[in-house]
Each structure stands twice: as C-alpha cells, then as structure tokens.
Chain A
Amino acid sequence: MNHLAYLDAGSGSLIVQAVVGGVAGVAVAAKLYWRRLVSRFRRQPTDQS
C-alpha cells in the first residue's frame, strides 16, 4: 500500500510534470513514450501467436 497516494495524483498530471521540468524532463517523457511504443511492437507477435 502506497501511503503517499491517498490522493489520485492523475496519470497525466504525473507525466506532464516531467515535461515542465525543462530539457532533461522532456527527455524523460520522450523516453517513457518511446519505451511504451517499443513494448507495444514487442508484444504484438506474442499476442497473435
């Protein structure tokens, strides 16, 4: 149980903070989206099999 999270912080509200944090933050957000994209392509063949 994460006691920090009594409040729904909002998934989008968490991600957008990276972008607001300057160039390094944008890089983190880009990496997050890149990893999501890659994992989607990786999953597809196993889904079809």
Chain B
Amino acid sequence: MVIPNLGRSPRPVPVDAELRPEPGSFRDPANRVFHAGDDVLRALDETATAHWRALAGSTFFPPLVAAGKICGTEELPAGVAFPAPSAGSRLPAGSDRPAGSALPNWAAVLRHERIPFISHPYEWSFAMLRDAALLHLEILRAALSAGFTTKDGSAYNLQWRGTEPVFIDVGSFAPLRDGEPWAGYRQFCQTLLYPLMLGAHLGLAFQPWLRAQVDGISPEQMGPLFRGTRRLLPGVLTHVHLHGSVQRRNAATSTSDVRAQLRAAGYTRELAQATVRGMEKLVRRLDHQPPPTHWVDYQRTCGYSGDDRSGKERFVTAALSTADRRRLVLDLGANDGRYARLAARHADYVVAVEQDPAVLDRLYRTLRGEGERRVLPLVMDLADPSPGGGWRAVERASFAARASADTVLALALVHHLAIGRNVPLPEVVSCLVGFVAPGGRLVVEFVHPDDPMAARLLANKPDGIFPDYRRDAFESLLAAHGTVEDRLELPSGTRTLYRVARS
C-alpha cells in the first residue's frame, strides 16, 4: 500500500539499527512500537496481523491515510529479520515489558510515518484537544460503517502534523463484533470529553488534570463539579452522572456478561453509530476561548520600536538561513508566533512553546485556519515543564527528554525566567543550551536591566536581589557553553541578540 510522504529516511529496512522499545507502548500485548534510527516500527502478533491486513484492504482505512488523518503506514516485506524483543540487554532500563507478560512472536512489522515532535494532550490548547477529539470520533464513525472499531479511545491515540491532528494508533483497529458498544468510550470520556467539559462548561484549564493523571479524569471526580443546575449543561447528565452511577451499580458485573446481555437485548451497530454521532454533536457544541491575559497584547505593548523589530527579524533570519537546513526549531516563549512562522520558512518543523493558554489557543486557531503543517503550538511553562508521566515516569516522556533542536529561539524570554521566576542566570543559560542538539544553535535575546520591560519586572522584587543579571555576566555564561558567532544590539540600546554555536 502506498503511503504519503513519511518524512523518514529512504533506507529500505532498518534491520541494523538498534531497536528501542517505545516506553509508552505496552498496554496492548497484541502489538508494540519500536524505534530504529528515525523509523517508527510496530510489531504485530498473529491476531493483530490478521486485523492489519483486513484493515489495509478495507474501504475506509486507505482514504483516511491518504487524507492525512491516520498516520502513513506500510507493512515491511515478509522475511525481514526483526529481532524478537526478548533480548533483555537491548532494552533500555525502565522501558522493558512489565515483568510476567509473555513475549509474543511477532508475525508482521509495520513502519509508520515519523511524527516530527511527540506532544501530550496536557500540552495542547482547548481548541487542539477539541479538534483531536473530533478526529477520533470521525475515524471511529468511518470504521464502524466499514465493520471495524477501535479497541480504545484515548487522547494519546492522536498526535500532530503542525496544526493537523493525526490518528497514530493503527494497532487499535479491530473488526467490529456486532452487538458490542465501543470499548474505548470510557477512555474517550476521561481523556477527551471530560477535559473539554471542564473548559467549555466551567472555564477551567484541563491541562493540570491530564498532566497529573495519565488515565484522565474519572466520572467520580467530575460529579462534584457538576451539581445543581450544572447537571443540565450539555452532556453532563448522561456522560458524567449517569455514566458514574451505572458504573458504580455494575462494578460487580463482568464486561463479558454485560456484552452478552446487551447483545441479547438487541444492541446493534446502528446504535453504536448513533452514539458516536451524538458525541460528535456534543463535542462540536463544547467551545471555550480562554480569557485574554496581558500576554495576548504583548507584541503591541512590549515596547519594541519598528527598528528593533526589523533588526531582530533580520538577525533571526540570518541565524536560520544556514547552509544545512534546520530540521527542528524550538521557539520558546512563542507569543503570537511571529518568529515561529519566520522559522518555518527555513526549517522542516517548528515547535512553538507558549505558557499562556489564551495566547496559544489563539495562535493555534490562526495557524489552523492557514492550514499550517509545519508549526506545532504547545502550551507549557518553561519554569515548570512537562515531567515524565505514567508508568515509571517514562510512559509519557518529559519535555526535556523530547526537546533536542537544531536551533532554539529564546527571544524576550530570559528576563521572565531570571527576574520573573527567580531562576539563577547560569541555570537559565544551561537549560536553554540543554535543548540544543550537538552542532545546533541557540538564538537568545538578553533584555538589559535598564530596559522598560525588565525594569517593570525588577520593580516587583526587592532591590539588589539579582546582582548577576548583567550583560557581561550573561555573555560569559554563553561563552562557557559555546561560541558566540554573532551578536546585535537592537537600536533601542536595551536589548542584545546572540547566536551561539553549542560546543
């Protein structure tokens, strides 16, 4: 089967590359994801192989792959030597299979399109989570019509190609058994529907909940938040309260008994489809724009002169227009995405990190409207970045473990961390350099203490508590981590830009 441009290396079969099991792929023993060099491989047991072949020959799957809604996938030719993952020595510590689970003999191996940067739902904005939920339901609806279903319904089934959501869990598809409801419904509620309800109905940020609980929000946690007239808000009575109460009352009944009872009572595929349509309608109704903060207007109020801005743009452009094309650029403190867009002209992929959900949500909606596929906007506070999560804290990789970029942009950021958050200047520099891949560049702006924006931050802190927040101290820190290749003092005279090659 033909797959769209996978953004992967042209090597035919990565038999020689070291296989690294994906620590986030162990829950479904029928298949497991491995990394080999730049390739993403999925090993399948016999049943999963039969399901995959039926899927590849189905009427719904190839069109969704061609439309970019499901990640590109191909089966490697039979006979490819794919080592069984039983060689314990090849598995990195902390990522091998949970003890006691039998290792299947893989019957087939798939190769997937490489997603340029893996992100987690707690790094997405409201509109991103909503679009991801709608794509999941659209795919499920198409699958049901063709006699397939998905075994689960997690937000982690989705990733991004810029602002385009992609369903990545090809191992989740399986033939539908008529008369059975969706096995992934509870996961869908917990990791997608409930977080969206928190935003749309209560105006609460869902990100802290998803970051704290890998399985999402339970109906029991939702219940107390939706008492009184809030019960009447769309979807709450059924998906939250009734769901929780039926769950409690049926806790002692096995799911296989319930499946048999539902089939006997006449549950049909049409009903399953009606449920999915109802959920799509509900998710479309759930909308929320995080309230604007002062960051929304930052570009207008930040005190840049026109000369400063054009000088800064020229400097950043020069830093990105090097002979070797940049694969990944990290724009830290992206705000309205001005420099992320600029970077996208010179790089394969840009990850724009912004701590303010309102700013990020606005940026996502704008980029999505433009069909941008090379800028991924993410919500994250750099002074409190995503930690590792889930099993052994490696199932969902920390931001630090994922972030290794050819160029890191840290524009108008250092003073917020060093003064606003009291992070010692050497720590700030060391952290930023840590995101730069070997041979990469850091493009960083230092806002002098006498700049109006820095002065505003300093006014909120006692005098003299940041004695090393000086340009010379900053420059010697940069020199300790690499070579300063280029520098530019902006015309206002209170900001300096540096391009540093990491040593």
A interface residues (Cβ-Cβ under 8 A, vs B): 2-22, 24-25, 27-29, 31-32, 35-36
In contact, A16 and B243 (Cβ under 8 angstroms): yes
B53 contacts chain A at the CB level, 8 A cutoff: no
From known contacts A7-B183, A12-B247, infer whether A2 and B256 are also in contact, taking CB-CB under 8 Å: yes
In contact, B267 and A28 (Cβ under 8 angstroms): yes
User: Separation in Å of the B460 CB from the closest CB of chain A?
Assistant: 49
Q: Which applies to chain B's interface (DSSP): helix, strand, loop or mixed?
A: helix
B interface residues (Cβ-Cβ under 8 A, vs A): 27-30, 47-48, 149, 151-152, 174, 177, 180-187, 189, 238-239, 242-251, 253-259, 261-262, 264-267, 270-272, 274-275, 278-279
Listed from nearest, the 3 A-B pairs whose CB atoms lie closest are A12-B247, A12-B246, A13-B186
From known contacts A12-B243, A20-B279, A28-B265, infer whether A4 and B271 are also in contact, taking CB-CB under 8 Å: no
Most chain B C-beta atoms within 10 Å of own C-beta, residue among A9, A31, A32: A9
Docked CA distance A38–B181 (Å): 23
Contacts of A17 in B (CB 8 A): 181-182, 185, 272, 275
Docked CA distance A19–B264 (Å): 16
In contact, B274 and A19 (Cβ under 8 angstroms): no
In contact, A15 and B185 (Cβ under 8 angstroms): no
The chain A residue with its CB closest to the CB of B246 is: A12
Identify which of B184, B264, B265, B275 contacts A7 (C-beta below 8 A): B184
Docked CA distance A39–B352 (Å): 60
Contacts of A12 in B (CB 8 A): 243-251
Contacts of A13 in B (CB 8 A): 181, 185-186, 189, 243, 246-247
Contacts of B264 in A (CB 8 A): 32, 35
Contacts of A3 in B (CB 8 A): 30, 47-48, 174
Identify which of B29, B47, B255, B261 contacts A9 (C-beta below 8 A): B255
In contact, B274 and A11 (Cβ under 8 angstroms): no
From known contacts A6-B27, A16-B246, infer whether A32 and B262 are also in contact, taking CB-CB under 8 Å: yes
In contact, A10 and B255 (Cβ under 8 angstroms): yes
In contact, A20 and B255 (Cβ under 8 angstroms): no
Contacts of B239 in A (CB 8 A): 16, 20
User: Separation in Å of the B242 CB from the closest CB of chain A?
Assistant: 6
User: Separation in Å of the A4 CB from the closest CB of chain B?
Assistant: 5
In contact, A21 and B272 (Cβ under 8 angstroms): yes
Contacts of B238 in A (CB 8 A): 16, 19-20
The chain B residue with its CB closest to the CB of A39 is: B261
In contact, A24 and B247 (Cβ under 8 angstroms): no
The chain B residue with its CB closest to the CB of A17 is: B181
Docked CA distance A24–B272 (Å): 11
The chain A residue with its CB closest to the CB of B250 is: A11
User: Separation in Å of the B329 CB from the closest CB of chain A?
Assistant: 37
User: Separation in Å of the B283 CB from the closest CB of chain A?
Assistant: 13
In contact, B254 and A11 (Cβ under 8 angstroms): yes
Contacts of A24 in B (CB 8 A): 270-271, 274
In contact, A10 and B177 (Cβ under 8 angstroms): no
20 additional A-B pairs beyond A7-B28, A14-B258, A32-B264, beta carbons within 8 Å, are A3-B174, A4-B174, A5-B151, A6-B29, A9-B255, A10-B185, A10-B186, A14-B180, A16-B242, A17-B181, A17-B185, A17-B272, A18-B181, A19-B246, A20-B275, A22-B278, A25-B271, A32-B261, A35-B264, A36-B261
